[in-house]
């Protein structure tokens, strides 16, 4: 099996690739900027760091936006962090539109809400927080509800369709931290940096043949 | 609040080995970085920090190799600092497997570097490291070069500036307390934690588990960093988490 980690010049792809190799020693994990390789891969992972407008610009410039759309429409697809945010229509981080594969927007943590209820929540939301699973999904298999995953972000998605919410996290109010729709699964947290629970999620993705 | 407070063992490295000294002097060997990192990972460390304390052009390659070796086996966040002067240095560290890069002296020489780094790579991976000493007249002053060179900058004002310029986190070290094992400078930690909206990592001075608790409770830190209490097997990360939990602080179960 070939798992393509899409390389459009943004972020630490090595960690994602190494974690996938760790859980899938028999798979061929390739970090690639080649559209043809993405098109041929049986699994596609879209990571991403930094700002959404920069990521979108780099994805378009590298000629990988269309292969990513095709993968998201047809094969098991995992978006991580900015790779989740880019699936939506707009981001408060800048005017560049996202891929628009999912209806909804990406917003910044609400400053007013951060100070509510005593302890101040700082931004970026940085560290290990609980992921409350919303509904069952093959990618949650073997992972306890409310397990902690590693987050490092200041923006989060607000899906138009609540039906795609696969996980929520409290900071201090609930925000969407995982979405699932057809063959797409995407996380705001970093499974590749989330120790046992994260590696299990990646192993589940490798074993997942889609809906 | 369900975000866990983090415990971060710090590995000072020189020439590819982990070392620890008192106030950056009298270095003692504390082991192979990959072995130490694996042990901390197994014990439930929330993150690992590496500081290249002899950052030199000749030893840079050794650092990248070391980060790659650690990142291949340890699936928790890695922060790396020491001798980070250019966006190319940051790129090389991120490509080697670092998740966050800490900037210290280069930011003081050119505050615009923090803005540039944050714009390029995102606030989430830029850590501003601040080394501070108490002033006789009150307040704290920022130092560089392992606490030897005074900058004239007020530590709290500098923390505000780097946060405004896009640092996503502040690693705050008291050079008065570092290596003294008498606890964090809690007043310094509290002053900075209250002054900025980004997370603050308290560092410098941990000699007992109660110091970690104090850093969170009294200092208002979001994470606590320590080296020697973990390196020599005195306490495990599990001991540290048990102490935090007993004090009512939310921590991640390993």
- Of the candidates B46, B52, B89, B131, the residue annotated as catalytic is B131
* Tally of residues, chain B: 254
- Of the candidates A81, A125, A153, A156, the residue annotated as catalytic is A81
Q: Are B142 and B126 in contact (CB under 8 A)?
A: no
Question: Which domains, from first to last, does chain B contain?
Answer: 6-246 (3.20.20.70)
Percent of chain A with pLDDT over 90: 87
Q: What is the mean pLDDT of chain A?
A: 94
Closest listed residue to residue B250, CA positions, set A176, A129, A192, A140: A129
Helix, strand, coil percent content, chain B, rounded in steps of 5: 35, 25, 35
- Does B124 contact A153 at a Cβ distance shorter than 8 Å? yes
> What are the residues facing B225 on neighbouring strands?
B8
Q: Which stretch of DSSP H or E encloses residue B172?
A: strand B169-174
Interval A165-181 mean pLDDT? 97
- Does B77 contact A195 at a Cβ distance shorter than 8 Å? no
Tokens of residue B48, six digits:
């690992």
Q: Which stretch of DSSP H or E encloses residue A45?
A: strand A43-46
Domain that holds residue A72: 2-207
Give the minimum alpha-carbon distance from A162 to chain B in angstroms, rounded to a whole number. Answer: 23
- State residue B9 phi and psi, 5-degree precision: -70, 140
Give the minimum alpha-carbon distance from A166 to chain B in angstroms, rounded to a whole number. Answer: 18
The CATH number assigned to the domain holding A59 equals 3.40.50.880
Interval B181-193 mean pLDDT? 97
Closest listed residue to residue B132, CA positions, set B204, B198, B228: B204
pLDDT above 90: residue B212: yes
Give the minimum alpha-carbon distance from A22 to chain B in angstroms, rounded to a whole number. Answer: 8
CA B220/CA B214 separation, integer angstroms: 9
pLDDT above 80: residue A117: no
- Of the candidates A125, A153, A177, A192, the residue annotated as catalytic is A192
Beta carbons within 8 Å of A43's beta carbon, 6+ residues apart: A1, A2, A3, A4, A27, A75, A76, A77, A78, A205, A206
User: What is the chain B residue with the closest CA to A52?
Assistant: B122
CA B8/CA B58 separation, integer angstroms: 28
CA B81/CA B79 separation, integer angstroms: 7
Give the per-residue pLDDT at B60. 81
- Does B4 contact A153 at a Cβ distance shorter than 8 Å? no
CA A85/CA A51 separation, integer angstroms: 10
Helix, strand, coil percent content, chain A, rounded in steps of 5: 30, 30, 35
Question: Can you tell me whether residue B21 is helix, strand or coil?
Answer: strand
Interval A164-178 mean pLDDT? 96
CB pairs under 8 A between A and B: 107
Task: Look up A156 and say whether it is catalytic.
Answer: no
Question: Can you tell me whether residue B164 is helix, strand or coil?
Answer: helix
pLDDT level of residue B27 (50, 70, 90 thresholds) = low
Q: Say which of A15, A122, A198 has its CB closest to residue B71.
A: A15
Closest listed residue to residue A188, CA positions, set A196, A179, A199: A179
- Does B75 contact A198 at a Cβ distance shorter than 8 Å? yes
Give the per-residue pLDDT at A14. 87
Interval A188-197 mean pLDDT? 97
Q: What is the pLDDT of residues A143-157, one digit of tens each?
A: 999 999 999 999 999
Residue A94 DSSP symbol:
B
Give the per-residue pLDDT at A52. 87
Give the per-residue pLDDT at B30. 63
Give the minimum alpha-carbon distance from A69 to chain B in angstroms, rounded to a whole number. Answer: 24
pLDDT above 80: residue A66: yes
Q: What is the pLDDT of residues B135-182, one digit of tens each?
A: 999 999 999 987 889 999 999 999 999 999 999 999 999 999 998 999
For an interface test with A, which of B42, B122, B167 has the most A Cβ atoms less than 10 Å from its Cβ?
B122
pLDDT above 60: residue B25: no
User: What is the chain B residue with the closest CA to A21?
Assistant: B72
Q: Say which of A14, A170, A192 has its CB closest to residue B2.
A: A170
Q: Give chain A's domain count.
A: 1
> What are the residues facing A150 on neighbouring strands?
A128
Q: Are B137 and B180 in contact (CB under 8 A)?
A: no
Give the per-residue pLDDT at A170. 95
- Does A18 contact B120 at a Cβ distance shorter than 8 Å? no
Between β-strands B149-154 and A90-91, what pairing exists: parallel, antiparallel or unpaired?
A: unpaired
Tokens of residue B208, six digits:
């007992």
């Amino acid at each position: 099996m070939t798992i393509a980690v899409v390389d459009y010049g943004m972020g630490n792809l090595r960690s994602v690739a190494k974690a996938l190799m760790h859980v899938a020693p028999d798979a061929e994990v390739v970090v690639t900027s080649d559209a043809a390789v993405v098109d041929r891969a049986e699994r596609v992972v879209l990571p991403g760091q930094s700002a959404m407008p920069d990521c979108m610009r780099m994805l378009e410039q590298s000629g990988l936006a269309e292969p990513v759309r095709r993968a998201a429409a047809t094969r098991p697809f995992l978006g991580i962090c900015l790779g989740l945010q880019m699936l939506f229509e707009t981001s408060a981080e800048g005017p560049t539109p996202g891929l628009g594969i999912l209806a909804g927007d990406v917003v910044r943590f609400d400053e007013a809400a951060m100070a509510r209820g005593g302890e101040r929540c700082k931004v970026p939301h940085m560290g290990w927080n609980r992921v409350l699973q919303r509904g069952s999904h093959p990618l949650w298999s073997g992972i306890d509800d409310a397990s902690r995953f590693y987050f490092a972000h200041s923006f989060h998605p607000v899906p138009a369709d609540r039906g795609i919410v696969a996980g929520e996290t409290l900071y201090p109010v609930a925000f969407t931290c995982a979405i699932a729709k057809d063959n797409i699964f995407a996380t705001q947290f970093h499974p590749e940096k989330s120790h046992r629970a994260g590696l299990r999620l990646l192993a589940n993705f490798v074993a997942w043949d889609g809906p | 609040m369900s975000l866990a407070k983090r415990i971060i063992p710090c590995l000072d490295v020189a020439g590819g080995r982990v070392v620890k000294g008192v106030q950056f002097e009298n270095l003692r060997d504390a082991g192979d970085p990959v072995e130490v990192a694996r042990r901390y990972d197994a014990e439930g460390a929330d993150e690992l920090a590496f500081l290249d304390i002899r950052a030199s052009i000749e030893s840079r390659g050794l650092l990248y190799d070391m980060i790659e070796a650690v990142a291949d086996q340890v699936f928790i966040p890695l922060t790396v600092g020491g001798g980070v002067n250019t966006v190319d240095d940051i790129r090389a560290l991120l490509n080697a497997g670092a998740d966050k890069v800490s900037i210290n002296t280069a930011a003081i020489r050119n505050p615009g570097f923090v803005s540039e780094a944050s714009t390029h790579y995102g606030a989430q991976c830029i850590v501003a490291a601040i080394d501070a000493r108490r002033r006789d007249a009150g307040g704290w002053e920022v130092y560089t070069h392992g606490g030897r060179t005074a900058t004239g900058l007020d530590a709290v004002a500098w923390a505000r500036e780097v946060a405004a310029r896009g640092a996503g986190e502040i690693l705050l070290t008291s050079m008065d307390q570092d290596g003294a094992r008498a606890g964090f400078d809690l007043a310094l930690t509290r002053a900075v934690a209250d002054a900025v909206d980004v997370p603050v990592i308290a560092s410098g001075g941990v000699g007992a588990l109660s110091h970690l608790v104090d850093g969170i409770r009294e200092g208002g830190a979001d994470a606590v960093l320590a080296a020697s209490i973990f390196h020599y097997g005195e306490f495990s990360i599990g001991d540290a988490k048990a102490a935090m939990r007993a004090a009512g602080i939310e921590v991640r179960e390993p």
